[in-house]
Amino acid sequence: MIIGLRIFFAVVLSAMLWVTGWASLDTALWDIPRQVAGHPWFVASLFDAYFGFLTFYLWLAYKEPKWPARALWLVLILTLGNIAMASYMLLQLFLLPTNAAPEQLILRRREAG
């Protein structure tokens, strides 16, 4: 399962980096036409994305024991979205052995001592 998740999040990260690079080379983010940026479905999609980011962050905040890491990941998620989320997942997945149980990924690691 861990190997499959590594592959999945590597694909997500690669796809997001590709599509973000492609879009950035075509049009600057601040040059989005007003009729697009104000369209109800555009606004609804942003709400949907950011509530998803914050939902993922709640789990991350539970998993990360230290506040500086939590704060850094919040900024990264809110600015980079799925690029940051896939990166976090890959970091977590590569800390685990390939035969790890799913709960080892999901639950907070115990502090030594």
Tens digit of each residue's pLDDT (9 = 90 or more) over 44-86: 999 999 999 999 999 999 999 999 999 999 999 999 999 999 9
Domain of 68, in residue numbers: 2-26+41-106
Query: Could you tell me the pTM of the whole model?
Result: 0.89
Residue 32 lies in a domain: no
Residue 21 lies in a domain: yes
For residue 109, give the 3-state DSSP assignment: coil
Residue 51 lies in a domain: yes
- Residue 21 CA to residue 88 CA, distance in Å, equals 20
Residue 34 lies in a domain: no
Total domains, the chain: 1
Residue 33 lies in a domain: no
Encode pLDDT of 11-27 as tens digits.
Answer: 999 999 999 999 999 98
CA quadruple 73, 78, 80, 81: dihedral sign:
positive
